[in-house]
């Protein structure tokens, strides 16, 4: 095959690959608020999202309470829906706390003493703190009763 044809084919292949990988061409997943498996309306909480060992691996502590919300996985695995909004890192740093106003959508009913499974539809006022620096913060110590 002549060299100029090979270059055209290669250039065309590279351009196609770039177009397919470009965010503007990527199909965006829908917000989890559209999931038909939800058990109730979405609501907003002030909370601290962090990574945990176990299932679910991401949880939100609702500030000022002992309530923990689990970011649904397992039987509520994403099926064309995002479990975190686009302005949240999709890979959570295990050494960080993510404070914010979370709009969550529940997959399970609210039962005292049982972790409620949710997805995060939106977050505003996001602040990321290193766990070690947050542990030395006096306001967190007072809030936790230490």
Q: Would the pLDDT of 49 be above 90?
A: yes
Q: How far is the C-alpha of 32 from the C-alpha of 35, rounded, in Å?
A: 5
Is the predicted pLDDT of residue 77 greater than 50, yes or no? yes
User: Are 100 and 49 within 8 A, CB to CB?
Assistant: yes
In the chain, which residue ranges form alpha helices assigned H by DSSP?
Answer: 3-21, 131-135, 138-143
- 123 closest CA partner among 47, 51, 30: 47
For CA atoms 128, 131, 133, 138, give the dihedral sign.
positive
More confident residue, 83 or 126: 126
pTM assigned to the model: 0.69
Does position 64 have pLDDT exceeding 90, yes or no?
yes
Which pLDDT band holds residue 121 (cuts at 50, 70, 90)? very high
Q: Residue 63 has which token pair?
A: 């500030």
Whole-angstrom distance, CA of residue 10 vs CA of residue 27: 25
Does position 106 have pLDDT exceeding 70, yes or no? yes
């Amino acid at each position: 095959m002549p060299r100029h044809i090979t270059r055209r084919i290669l250039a065309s292949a590279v351009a196609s690959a770039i177009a397919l990988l470009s965010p503007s061409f990527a199909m965006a997943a829908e917000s989890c608020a559209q999931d038909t498996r939800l058990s109730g309306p979405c609501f907003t909480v002030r909370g601290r999202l962090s990574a945990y060992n176990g299932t679910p691996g991401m949880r939100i502590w609702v500030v000022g309470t002992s309530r923990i919300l689990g970011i649904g996985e397992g039987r509520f695995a994403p099926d064309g829906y995002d479990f975190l909004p686009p302005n949240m890192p999709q890979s959570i740093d295990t050494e960080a706390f993510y404070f914010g106003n979370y709009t969550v959508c529940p997959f399970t009913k609210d039962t005292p003493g049982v972790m409620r499974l949710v997805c995060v539809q939106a977050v505003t006022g996001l602040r990321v703190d290193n766990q070690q620096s947050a542990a030395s913060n006096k306001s967190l110590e007072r809030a936790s009763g230490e």
